[in-house]
Amino acid sequence: MRLRLDLAYDGTAFHGWAAQPGLRTVQGELTAALATVLRRDDVEVVCAGRTDAGVHARGQVVHLDVPDPVEVDRLPRRLNGVLDPDVRVRRVAPAPASFDARFGALWRRYAYRVADDPATLDPLVRSHVLAWPRPLDLAAMNEASALLVGRHDFAAFCKRREGATTIRTLLELAWARDTAGHAVATVRADAFCHSMVRSLVGCLLAVGEGRRPPAWAGEVLAAQVRDAAVAVVHAHGLTLEAVAYPPDAELAARAEQTRARRE
């Protein structure tokens, strides 16, 4: 029986998603809770996006297989009774055998939040919003963002892994003010490579405060090498907001397409 779990977590006290010996991670906490509730020692989970240390999530998606039927309706409450309050299971549902939280996703959407005006600084959200000392020009940042949208080699914004491609399709990258006055980047792509969102934001902050012209973002992208002038911003401003999947009948085809190496 395959299950889909929808999770939210505050990443502040975690060393990222992936289990690591001796460190507190989201995967480690979740699998320990599942082992307790399901009374099994061999629980394995697959997530939609492996968030880095300090990154938060409202819309993380996980799948796992269980050999015996479980009372799905009771599982969220039972898991939340075991988990610490900074991780919550929001929903559990049966999933088709072809559902793959990682490879079946159509896109992941992140938000990065920045407070660039002293009047918007709020100590109550300091672990989720980056405090920036200079005002940002969102029009210039959106002009630069438009140069990055599309299918590109994002090597300039990614930490390379041997044998892995850095080609991604960036579906959306736009800045707007929220009701609190924070500058919020909405970043949506078919997938992300390591540190990609935080590097994109670092590039655009340089544009927004006037240190670089909007065209610079396109130049960095075209160079396809890491630029020392592009800062990788702090993790705590970043939140995984949502992951989208195709209809059940298209899940297997989507997973096969995603596994194919991007060219």
* Residues catalogued as catalytic: 52
For 106, the 3-state DSSP assignment is coil
| Identity of the amino acid at 221 | L
Which residues fall within 8 angstroms of residue 6, CB to CB, at 6 or more apart? 59, 60, 61, 62, 89, 90, 91, 92
> Taking a C-beta distance cutoff of 8 angstroms, is the pair 136, 76 a contact?
no
Amino acid in position 138: L
The DSSP 8-state label assigned to residue 134 in this structure reads S
SS3 assignment, position 168? strand
CA distances for 83 relative to 29, 31, 65, 76, angstroms:
7, 10, 20, 10
